Amino acid sequence: MAVYKYTGRDQEGDQVKGTVESNSKDNALELIMAKGIMPNDIQEKPKSKKAVDLSAVFSSQVKSSDLVIFTRQMYSLSKAGVPILRALNGLAESTNSKILASALLDILNNMKNGYSLSAAMGFHPRVFSQLYISLVQVGENTGQLDRIFIQLAAYVEQEIETKKRIKSAIRYPSFVLMFVSLAMIVLNIYVIPVFSTMFAKFHADLPWATKVLMGTSNLFVNYWGLMLLLSIFLIVVTKVWLKSEKGSYLWDKWKLSLPVVGSIIERSLLARFSRSFAMMLTAGIPLNNALYLIAFAVDNNYLKEKILTMRSEIESGETLLKTATRTRLFTPLVLQMIAVGEETGQVDELLNESADFYEREVDYDLKSMTAKMEPILITSVGLMVAILAFGVFIPMWSLMSVAQGG
């Protein structure tokens, strides 16, 4: 486990600092909040010899569908008055997810040792998000766990539907690119070498396209093992880099500017921000605490930095509208909803309407994304056919003409 240093304020408003041992930053946050401390900063203490942790790269997470079933079952059981310990024990035995079952049994043991439900969930950040844990904590404090669980179930279900729409939209382009790549590999390994042997016999003067194809074919045939190892190495390095703080921040910032899909990702994140923010405010979580928790719920480090900046400025006395405007991240619609919400005291309701609007826009763009990407795919396939035509068929026709003339 790593050791995290933190500074924050206790329930009396006094500044405190200390250390906590945890297996992740999210878990450390929950352990600190369980002490009644609202942290301002959490940093991992540096180690003398820092090794790359590959377990974080390949470790599994619980399926969203299993989490929805668990959440809805917890809602039904808590509403029926079933004790939490008995409910957790029964759900651990009935769930089909081994990861969730193991986590529930550990939560059960921790609760028997004096931990609250939210604190025990904090030991499993790969199963329960920080937003999930914080809302459970609110439900415990207010005695409304059933209402919190039904809100969480609706939230997770909405996230699942969004992911399904995204997967459905990228399925066709992914299949096209996959088969084009497979065709290029087969051509380089099995087809082009046959033509290369024929061209070599005639000692023909080949065009540049043919030379490029023969060069790539030789590379695939003679160095396929090295290329495979290099591909695996690049995949692992990329995953490790994306897990790093700098790498994840840069990638989260770049992907908002990607053609075609960048605007969809941005609006999807704004929908998640609006929905999460509304749910936290409805649950009665203070504004600055809600922003802190949402920063870790949006799943984008670039947006997280902007939200944490908003939180700092609000704690300095600025209004929510001014801080949101200063980030230059939110669209006029969200800013208008925040402005009206601050005047009427209905920020949560208006943010829910903003989330509905963005989700409809994302749904429409996802449905039309295939049509937008078709010209790119057709152009890619056309370029491949053109290279093959110039590189293989034209020299072959020239050789046939020479042979016939001879």
The CATH number that applies at residue 111 is: 1.20.81.30
Would residue 6 count as lying in a domain?
yes
Give pLDDT, residue 232.
93
pLDDT bracket for residue 233 (50, 70, 90): very high
* Number of domains within the chain: 3
Question: For residue 112, is it within any domain?
Answer: yes
Domain extent at residue 33: 2-46
Mark 364-400 as b/e (b = at least 16 C-beta within 10 Å). ebbeebeeebeeeeeeeeeeeeebbebbbeebeeebe
Predicted pLDDT of residue 215: 82
Label residue 73 by pLDDT band (50, 70, 90): very high
Categorize the per-residue pLDDT at 237 as very low, low, confident or very high, splitting at 50, 70 and 90.
very high
pLDDT surpassing 50 at residue 59: no
Type of residue at 322: K
Under the banding of pLDDT at 50, 70 and 90, the label for residue 230 is very high
Q: Answer yes or no: do 243 and 363 share one domain.
A: yes
Highest mean pLDDT among 14-28, 81-95, 175-189, 334-348: 81-95
- 9: CATH: 3.10.20
Q: What is the pLDDT of residue 235?
A: 92
Domain shared by 75 and 11, yes or no: no
Residues 107 and 157 in one domain: no
**Chain segment 133-146, per-residue pLDDT in tens:** 878 887 887 788 88
